[in-house]
A and B are shown apart, each in its own frame.
Chain A
Amino acid sequence: MYPFPHRHLLAIEGLEQPYIADLLDLAESYALLNRQGKTQRDLLKGRTLINLFFEDSTRTRTSFELAGKRLGADIVNMSVSTSSVNKGETLLDTAATLNAMQTDLLVVRHGISGAPALLAQKVDAAVINAGDGTHEHPTQALLDALTIRRRKGRLEGLTVAICGDVLHSRVARSNIHLLLAMNSRVRVVGPPTLIPAEAARLGVEVHHHMKTGLKDADVVMMLRLQKERMTGGLVPSAREFFRFYGLDAEKLAWAKPDAIVMHPGPMNRGVEIDSAVADDPARSVIGEQVEMGVAVRMAVLDTLARGLRRNA
């Protein structure tokens, strides 16, 4: 293993292939230990991990909490409701508070792109971005990659179709960077109103029809469509979106016969994904994604904590 060269995990963009591969290998070993019911409670013993969530999230926060507990860290959850915080000065005040508490690992979710990066400049702790605005969600991309690798045996050369609201998706951005770094072929599929400007310059193929977008895909990754996108007029209605971009058995048939179906959750059944597909054990790996989430976050916490030791 190479020593991890970054103090924080703020983004996948800029993270080189060997480090991604190392994180995935380490996560794979944690996945194995988790299945065997073994824990490593001495690894982060005496370390303080704070889950600082400015946006509601049950799954990601719980996943980090579980990962930290399995490694023996002391964990505090801080949920800061967005209604009471709309001035970022509070963000830097929070940073000062966290420094005073001698936090080692800080997991941050924030509704605004770049907020964890700003926090990282001001805190002594190693910062893990648990999702910032429409920028990145690095641990989600790592867990998606691990899930794909376990199912397909590799990432290189696979065709991955990322479908739906790519414009507002931090999951999509992190996945695009990670999969391209691992030499997968990446497509984004969605209506033009939900595809970001100059998406092709990220190195992906852009498709506006599911039929061409899913053709020969090994992996179909669906994204959550937020309800407010419909009120914002980016798509006219849920039923229209489902008709053209919702994944059902008919559309899935355009992908490879053994293509797997992924979703970062929580799902809008009947909007971006049909229950029959989401619950099909032969195709859906959505449950495994959640399982890999814990393993990946253990690997990330472990890796960054080693950096803290090196720098201590």
Chain B
Amino acid sequence: MSATLFTSARLLDPASGLDTPGALLVRDGVILDHGGNLGRPDDAITVDCAGACLAPGLVDLRAALGEPGFEHRETIASAAQAAAAGGITTLCALPDTHPVLDDPALIQFVIRKGESTGCLTILPYAAATAGCEGKDISEFGLLKEAGAIAFTDGRKAIGNARTMRLALSYARAFGSFVVQHPEEPTLAVGGAATEGERATRMGLPGIPVAAEAMMVERDIALARLTRGHVHFAHVSTAAALAKVRAAKEEGLSVTCDTAPPYFDLNETAIGEYRTYAKLSPPLREEADRLAVIAALKDGTIDAIASDHQPRDADDKRLPFAQAEAGGAGLATLLGVTLARVHGGDLTLLQALDLLTAQPAKLLGLEAGTLRKGAPADLVLFHPERGWRVEAGRLPGKAQNTPFDGRALEGRVLGTWKAGRRVFG
């Protein structure tokens, strides 16, 4: 394989705090060197970055793929295309597919499918319970051996406290963790929007904010009991974040992520029953959005994930309460996160840290850094270049973006996977 020399780049490596103009040399899919003045090897292709930002490819902690079972929503190939366009080079896929990823052979299938795209490493989660049914824990050891990155029931909360206790305990034996969808299912049942004035006016069945806080509180208690590691996905409320913050101060193995809709949108995005803004958890009120931003700033939130949930027109062109929850998020992950940089809430390095080094560290990956010897998974982006999100014109198959019409600053110019250009 030949070499590539990136010149005139603004090198950004959150893992080491590097933010400097310079060049970066890649050979055989690995970062060979970077610095202010690198000589160009004879066989190297040169990429003139013209001052744009060169950073590690994004590590997406949470995305649903339509495959296997829901190929009409998205295939792994189309998701990989969207991920490449969004600067994502590593992606953790949820197991609530059809069939559910609760068998080692299925884990291997998804990993191989990812490899065959050539542009995306897919690290599947395995189902924490057989069939994601919330009853009996799955074969953590065998699934981990097959390549499962961690354990979760995807969009379903593990509602039974005993099952969650067992999962947290048992995962410890394999050095793994359990990802929880933090929503008390019996309290949230039938809900379509956050309970409150807006849902009341629209006549929509509500999900109280307390449904998130109480599940977080319960699982923190179980983490204390088992000394296991619980990770809360897409945390969206001030109340839940306060509990996570306290648990971290206590020294428990508790981590969490959030997703762009929860720091960029509030419940008003539902407007007149806009089903593309129907998400799980539902969009919250403004005070919660601000609390999510504060938690990104102070480190309570460990990572930003796309929380990509592909849906097709048949899932969404329905009365609001009947429509499927979930939003497409791969292509907008970087742009919407950069809005918080432009808004003055995060530094560029902080934002990238939440998208690369931090999720990589949580998962124990080599990726997410520009360190010499690391895989040459790279994203080149212009932090100010503007574009408009348009449902129907996004890369990949899933078009159900909650950000339809949103003007963003920050555009991906190119993506490299193991040194090979896969976008731009």
Contacts and interface: CB of A to CB of B under 8 A. Distances in A.
Contact of B195 (A115, A136, A197): A197
B317 A132 contact: no
Given A89-B314, A91-B319, A92-B317, A198 B272 contact: no
A113 B204 contact: yes
26 contacts: A86-B322, A88-B318, A88-B319, A88-B322, A89-B317, A89-B318, A91-B318, A110-B319, A112-B320, A113-B273, A113-B320, A113-B321, A114-B203, A114-B204, A114-B272, A114-B319, A114-B321, A118-B273, A134-B204, A173-B200, A173-B201, A196-B200, A197-B206, A198-B196, A198-B200, A202-B201
Interface string A78-99: 0000000011110110000000
Chain A interface size band reads: 20 to 34
Contacts of B321: 112-114, 133
Given A197-B196, A197-B208, A135 B202 contact: yes
B201 A115 contact: no
Contacts of A87: 318, 322
Which of B196, B205, B319, B321 has the most chain A CB atoms closer than 10 A to its own CB? B319
Contacts of A110: 319
Contacts of B319: 88, 91, 110, 112-115, 118, 133
Nearest to B270: A114
Shortest 5 CB-CB distances between A and B: which pairs?
Answer: A135-B203, A88-B318, A114-B273, A113-B203, A134-B203
Nearest to B203: A135
Given A117-B273, A118-B273, A135-B202, A202 B318 contact: no
Contacts of A118: 273, 317-319
Contacts of A13: 201
A212 B272 CA distance: 36
Nearest to B314: A89
Interface in B386-423: none
A73 B386 CA distance: 53
Contacts of B196: 197-198
Contacts of B208: 197
Contacts of A89: 314, 317-318
B374 interface: no
A22 B10 CA distance: 65
A253 B262 CA distance: 51
